[in-house]
C-alpha cells in the first residue's frame, strides 16, 4: 500500500519544552489510522507538526511522496490535506453558509451542495451564526469545511470532544462514510474505545513517544492493554 503520509522521527519543542521525542507514523491510501493517547501525550503537537503549524526541530514529514517538513500550513493543505482542528475553530460571527464560502473552490465531489446533503442539519441552519450552533453542529460544520477542499487525506483532531454520545455516533458514522468513499483518514482521539471501532491501525502516544503501533483490532481485543496505554476505563 502506498503511503499518503509518512512521519519520521519528529522532534518538536515549544520553546525549551521538548514535547515530541522521535514520533514516526504512516497512513496508507484508503486507511483509517487512529492516533491515541492520554491528555497531554502529544497528539495535537503531532498534528501541528504535520500541518506546518509548529515546525519540528528534527524529523521529516512526507505527504503523497513529497517532503513537506517546514512548509507553511496553506501549502500543506493545498496538497490535499483537510485538517479539522481540536476545538473546531469555525468562524462564530459568520453564518453557516458564509463559513462554507471561506475555503477556496477545488475540483472533486465535495461542493456546498453535497456537504449540505451529507449534513442536512447544516442546510437547515445555513443562516445561523456559527457561534450559535451546538457542539455537534459546529463539528459537522468544521468537517464540511474541510471536505470542501476535496482532500485526499483528512486529519481530525478529537472530533468527539465535548459532544453528547448520540452526536458522537453521528460524527463517527460520517467518518466511516468518508473511509467508505476511499478517503485516507488520521483520527486523533482521546476516546480510544470509539476510535478503535473504526480504525484499521492505531498508534498510541505517551509522553511524546509512540508506545503502540499495530492493528486496531489487537488493541481493541486487549482491554487491559488499552487501558494501560491509552487510559480508557
Ligand atoms: P490533549 O488531548 O489535551 O489535546 P494532546 O495529546 O493533544 O493532549 P498536546 O496538546 O500535543 O497533547 O500537548 C503535549 C504537551 O505539550 C503537553 O504537556 C502540553 O502541556 C504541552 N503544550 C501544548 N501546547 C503548548 C504550548 N503552546 N506551549 C508549551 N507547552 C505546550
Which pLDDT tens digit goes with each residue over 135-175?
889 999 999 999 999 999 999 998 888 888 888 888 898 89
Q: What is the pTM of this model?
A: 0.92
How far does residue 87's CA lie from ligand 1's centre (Å)?
A: 14
Cα 84 to Cα 89: distance, rounded to the nearest angstrom? 8
Q: Which pLDDT tens digit goes with each residue over 119-134?
A: 999 999 999 999 999 8
Report percent pLDDT > 70 for the chain.
98
Which atom of ligand 1 is least distant from the CA of 47? Answer: 11
> What's the Cα-to-Cα distance from 94 to each of 126, 127, 129, rounded to whole Å?
10, 9, 5
pLDDT band at 232 (very low <50, low <70, confident <90, very high): low
How far does residue 62's CA lie from ligand 1's centre (Å)?
A: 23
Q: What is the pLDDT of residue 123?
A: 96
**Ligand 1, CB cutoff 6 Å, lining residues:** 14, 17, 19, 37, 39-45, 86, 190
How far does residue 43's CA lie from ligand 1's centre (Å)?
A: 8
Amino acid at each position: 500500500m502506498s503511503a499518503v503520509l509518512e512521519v519520521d522521527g519528529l522532534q518538536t519543542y515549544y520553546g525549551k519544552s521538548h514535547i515530541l521525542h522521535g514520533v514516526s507514523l504512516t497512513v496508507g491510501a484508503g486507511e483509517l489510522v487512529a492516533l491515541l493517547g492520554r491528555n497531554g501525550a502529544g497528539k495535537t503537537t503531532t498534528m501541528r507538526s504535520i500541518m506546518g503549524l509548529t515546525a519540528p526541530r528534527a524529523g521529516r514529514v512526507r505527504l503523497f511522496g513529497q517532503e513537506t517538513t517546514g512548509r507553511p500550513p496553506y501549502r500543506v493543505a493545498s496538497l490535499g490535506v483537510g485538517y479539522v482542528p481540536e476545538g473546531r475553530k469555525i468562524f462564530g460571527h459568520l453564518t453557516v453558509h458564509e463559513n462554507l464560502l471561506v475555503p477556496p473552490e477545488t475540483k472533486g465531489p465535495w461542493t456546498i451542495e453535497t456537504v449540505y446533503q451529507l449534513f442536512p442539519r447544516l442546510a437547515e441552519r445555513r443562516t445561523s451564526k456559527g457561534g450559535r450552533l451546538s457542539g455537534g453542529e459546529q463539528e459537522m460544520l468544521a468537517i464540511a469545511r474541510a471536505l470542501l477542499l476535496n482532500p485526499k487525506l483528512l486529519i481530525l483532531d478529537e472530533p468527539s470532544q465535548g459532544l453528547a454520545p448520540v452526536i458522537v455516533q453521528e460524527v463517527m458514522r460520517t467518518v466511516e462514510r468518508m473511509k467508505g468513499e476511499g478517503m485516507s483518514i488520521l483520527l486523533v482521539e482521546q476516546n480510544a474505545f470509539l476510535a478503535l471501532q473504526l480504525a484499521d491501525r492505531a498508534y498510541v502516544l505517551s509522553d511524546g513517544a509512540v508506545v503502540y503501533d499495530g492493528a486496531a483490532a489487537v488493541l481493541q481485543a486487549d482491554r487491559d492493554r488499552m487501558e494501560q496505554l491509552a487510559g480508557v476505563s
